[in-house]
Amino acid sequence: MSGHSKWNSIKHKKAATDAKRGKILTKHSKILSVVGRSDPNPETNASLRVAIVNAKSENVPNENIDRILKKLSGDGKDAAVYSEQVYEGFAPHGIPVVVTALTENINRTFPAVKTAFGKNGGTLGSSGSVMFQFDHVGVVVVKNGEKSEDELFELAIDAGGEDFLYDEKESEIVTKFENLAAVRNALEEKIEISKSEPQYRAKDPKIISDQTELDKIENFIAAIEEVEDVDEVFPGFDVADSLV
C-alpha cells in the first residue's frame, strides 16, 4: 500500500478555501435528494447516512440538511429526478480527464460541458476515449484522532483497503469501487469517518513540471468545475516535486 498523487493531496488541502460555497450546497442538495428519494430516513438508508456525513464534512449546515430531509418526506416525491453523467476528454497538454455531473436535464448539461472544454483548451471525447486510463475506486477519509500512522495502516489493511495516505489530521484509505461500502462499514466501527465517495484516479498520471503548463491545466479544471451541473473533475496528472 502506498500514497497517491500530490495533485490530489494539494487539491484536498485547497478545497476548503477555493470551493465556492453555493456550488457545494447545490451539489450536496442534489446528492441528498437522489439517495434519499426512496427512503428519507437515515436510520434505515445507509447511502443517505453516508451522504449526510459527506455533506457535513464540507460544512453544509444542519438546517440545510434537515430542510432537504423534510422535503423528501413530503413534497419531495414530485421533485426533479437527477441522473449521474460521466464525460471523458482531454485537458490542455493532452491530459486525460473524467468529469462527473448530476443533472435533471442532460440536454442542458452536455452542451455546457462541451462548450467549457472547447473554450479552455480542452477536447471533449466520446465514451471510452480515456476511461481505460483510470481506475474507478472508493475513497474513505478518516480522522486520525490519537492513532499513529502504523495503527491507521493496520486498520486500513484489516478493513480491506488497498492504498493508504497518511496526513497530519486525516488519512485516506483507497479500495476498489465495488468494495467501498464494505470497507467503510468496517472502518466506522473503529474510527470516525469524515467522508467516503467514489473517485476516478489515473493509472499512470503524467508528471507536470512546467508552471505555465500547470497554470493552464488548473485554469481548465476551474472552468469545468464552474459548469452548473458538474460534480467532480478527475484529471490524469501529477505535480513534479519542483512545483510543490
Q: What is the mean pLDDT of residues 173-202?
A: 91
pLDDT reading at 25 higher than 60: yes
Q: What is the pLDDT of residue 30?
A: 85
**Percentage of the residues of the chain whose pLDDT score is greater than 90:** 56
Q: What is the pLDDT of residue 210?
A: 93
Q: 34-38, 68-72, 133-137, 187-191 — which one is most confidently predicted on average?
A: 133-137
Q: What is the pLDDT of residue 215?
A: 93
> Chain-wide mean pLDDT for the chain?
86
Look up the CATH architecture of domain 6-78.
Orthogonal Bundle (1.10)
Q: What is the pLDDT of residue 16?
A: 44
Q: What does the domain layout of the chain look like in residue ranges?
A: 6-78
Do the beta carbons of residue 172 and residue 5 sit within 8 Å?
A: no
Q: Over the stretch 144-168, which tens digit does the pLDDT of each residue have?
A: 999 999 999 999 999 999 999 998 8
> How buried is residue 146: exposed, middle or buried, by Cβ count under 10 Å (0-12/13-18/19+)?
exposed
pLDDT reading at 3 higher than 70: no
pLDDT reading at 97 higher than 90: yes
Q: Indicate the range of 12-16, 127-131, 205-209, 223-227 predicted with least confidence.
A: 12-16
Q: What is the pLDDT of residue 17?
A: 44
Q: What is the pLDDT of residue 2?
A: 44
pLDDT reading at 140 higher than 90: yes
Q: What is the pLDDT of residue 9?
A: 54
Provide the whole-model pTM. Answer: 0.80
Q: What is the mean pLDDT of residues 91-106?
A: 94
Q: What is the pLDDT of residue 10?
A: 53
Q: What is the pLDDT of residue 75?
A: 53
Q: Over the stretch 211-241, which tens digit does the pLDDT of each residue have?
A: 999 999 999 999 999 998 998 999 999 998 8
Q: What is the pLDDT of residue 13?
A: 46
Q: Please give the residue that has the higher pLDDT: either 24 or 230.
A: 230
